[in-house]
Structure 1
Amino acid sequence: MTFSQPAPDAPFFVVINAASGHVDAEEVMACIGGIFDEAGRRHEFLQVLDPSQLSSTAEEAVKRAIAQGGVVVAAGGDGTLSAVAQAVHGRGPAYGVLPQGTFNYFGRVNGIPQELEKATRALLRARVQPVHVGRVNGRAFLVNASLGLYPQVLQDREKAKQQLGRNRWVAIYSGLRTLAGHVRQLSLEFEQGGKRRVLKSPTLFVGNNQLQLERIGIGEAAALDAGQLAGIVVRPTSFWALLWLALRGALGKLGDSDNVESFAFKRLSVSPHGARRAKVALDGEIQWLDTPLVFEVPEPLPLMLPLPEDRVEVE
């Protein structure tokens, strides 16, 4: 699929999540704005001061971009990038990214510089290219989606950080507490290609980022190049076995475990037994979605991809 290129002077509408607490929004805007001013490029910042306003702010950016032939730009971590991509997807405007998070899997896998100044200058010369995204029940995701144990880990970790502070040891402590207390096994009915099966598992993880999947050792990472998603299911197991699996993932050997099943797909329907709604993590952000959960590969996203000479190698 090809997309039309925005005009060389197309304005940028930059959504910046000042409520995330990870960046100094004023400093970030000063850096971006200075580079755009130097290049004579029209731009407008749309700040998100309340996390609950992220989606509506992204929608406003899309409306302005459509009206003025502009580009919607997301400045933030993977969660912010995902929310803005959801607003852009299928609507027409090109989508630009200025990574500001911790992992930045989406930006890194697409060769976007991680330094703000370099990323901003690269955006000025970038060209639209279609990139692969995933979708569940109409909600786009860039990196991953999951239900069960993983969303609970994320939710508990955020609560712990609010109470004890944001650092790595708080995150580790919270994760161990969740693993120790999470004994519920989900009964999941899968439908893929007209075939049905039922699996019990504490979690389902759907990956859409080759870099992340390679880092944890999942062989289906290569399937993303064929326009598919990667599903990962953990078989019912004990706390210590789950802890060992987490360590294997950190060492890049998760896919070698007998307790892990991974598979590639283009469309997958998942029905948790007895649940009308399910808690799903989309790129780290928690959503409640009606069941069944339908994971699929929709039309691509029109990403402003840096020119080859501006791209950085994946580290």
Structure 2
Amino acid sequence: MAAAPGLAPDAPLHIVSNAGSGSKDAHEARQQIEAILTAAHRPHEFILIDNPGELARVAKQAAEAAVRSDGAVVVAGGDGTINAVVQAVLPTERPFGIIPQGTFNYSSRAHGIPLDTREAANALLTARPKPVQVGMVNDRAFLVNASLGLYPELLQDREAYKRQYGRRRTVAMWAGLKTLLREHRQLIVEVEHEQGSETLFTPSIFVGNNALQLEQVGLEEAEDVKRHRLAAVIVEPVSTTELVWLGIRGMLGRLGDDERIRDFPFRSMTVRLLSSGKKRTIKVAVDGEIFWCEQPLTFHVAEHPLSLLTPTTVK
């Protein structure tokens, strides 16, 4: 993987932050970040998101500002917000920083970025760019995972529960189990990868690009992700009860040794949904956000890595 471009110690930081949430936590986070960067005399600006529909525009604005200033783009947010900004920053090859504000924060935790707002802001002052693998599904980048079938349904239900009961991991896990208890249709898909082509029946295809997440559910492909490959996880046709059991095994970190799970590493994989009739689009979950993508779906490793700002204590 190519070396990441450097960043001057006084390079400006263009920080994408959510202004529209109106939450006390978001306001306090901005104040904490502002205080630390101001005290360190580090040039910076906040580029605020007034509503979710403006995220792509704001991300592009931040990326363009970083190109003009030879600076970096920083996101104060969770994996979904991070993913949206990555789309704009990746083509510019400018350094990219994270101040975690989400529920699971896989992008941050996998690379040693502190979860505490103050610690993460302080770490940015001396952070160094590190080339990080990016996955692609068609023209959409992802740092954590992309999937079709059951997982997008699970994410939609999880967001509904979080709006009602709060953004906590226990709420997310309970919502996931409730989703698994419902009946789910089987997808009929044609899958092409390095090992050949085959037709499969499955409720879900999951593609992982985050070693930490794969390790937590017990999949050996975590090591393959570290060697610049993606991980495919395909569920065999199972009953509702078996799906729940698979969910529990994943929570316990024992998913990899279950015979109802097929997993393998790859660099490129194409998926065509044969059970969709004349529909040309398919619902796909990408780093926790839902999109409708044109068929076929092509999953592959991006040509260029993301230049992620990581703490100097992380190798």
TM over 0.5: yes
Aligned to 1:285: 289
TM-score (norm 2): 0.93
Cα gap change, 1:300 to 1:167, in 2 (>3 Å): closer
Task: Count the aligned residue pairs.
Answer: 310
Cα gap change, 1:23 to 1:194, in 2 (>3 Å): farther
Aligned to 2:63: 62
Distance (Å, rounded) in 2 between the aligned partners of 1:32 and 1:197:
51
Aligned to 1:86: 87
Residue deviations 1:152-178 (CA, integer Å, cap 9, x gap): 011122234445655566545543443
Deviation at 1:21, TM superposition (A): 7.3
Distance (Å, rounded) in 1 between the aligned partners of 2:113 and 2:162:
29
Aligned to 1:297: 301
2:92 alignment partner, SS class: coil
Cα gap change, 1:165 to 1:42, in 2 (>3 Å): closer
Deviation at 1:9, TM superposition (A): 1.2
2:3 alignment partner, SS class: coil
Contact conserved, 1:90 with 1:301, CA < 8 A, in 2? no
Q: Point out 4+ residue stretches in structure 1 off by more than 4 angstroms.
A: 19-23, 163-173
Contact conserved, 2:161 with 2:175, CA < 8 A, in 1? yes
Alignment map for 1:54-133 (pairs within 5 Å): 54-133=55-134
Aligned to 1:41: 42
Distance (Å, rounded) in 2 between the aligned partners of 1:195 and 1:20:
47
Contact conserved, 1:145 with 1:280, CA < 8 A, in 2? yes
Is residue 12 of structure 1 aligned with residue 13 of structure 2? yes
TM-score (norm 1): 0.93
Alignment map for 1:108-187 (pairs within 5 Å): 108-163=109-164, 171-172=172-173, 174-187=175-188
Alignment map for 1:158-307 (pairs within 5 Å): 158-163=159-164, 171-172=172-173, 174-193=175-194, 195-273=196-274, 274=276, 275-298=279-302, 299-307=304-312
| Percentage of matched positions with identical amino acids | 47
Contact conserved, 2:225 with 2:231, CA < 8 A, in 1? yes
Distance (Å, rounded) in 2 between the aligned partners of 1:236 and 1:21:
44
Distance (Å, rounded) in 2 between the aligned partners of 1:264 and 1:302:
23
Unaligned ranges ≥5, structure 1 = none
Unaligned ranges ≥5, structure 2 = none
Cα gap change, 1:234 to 1:148, in 2 (>3 Å): same
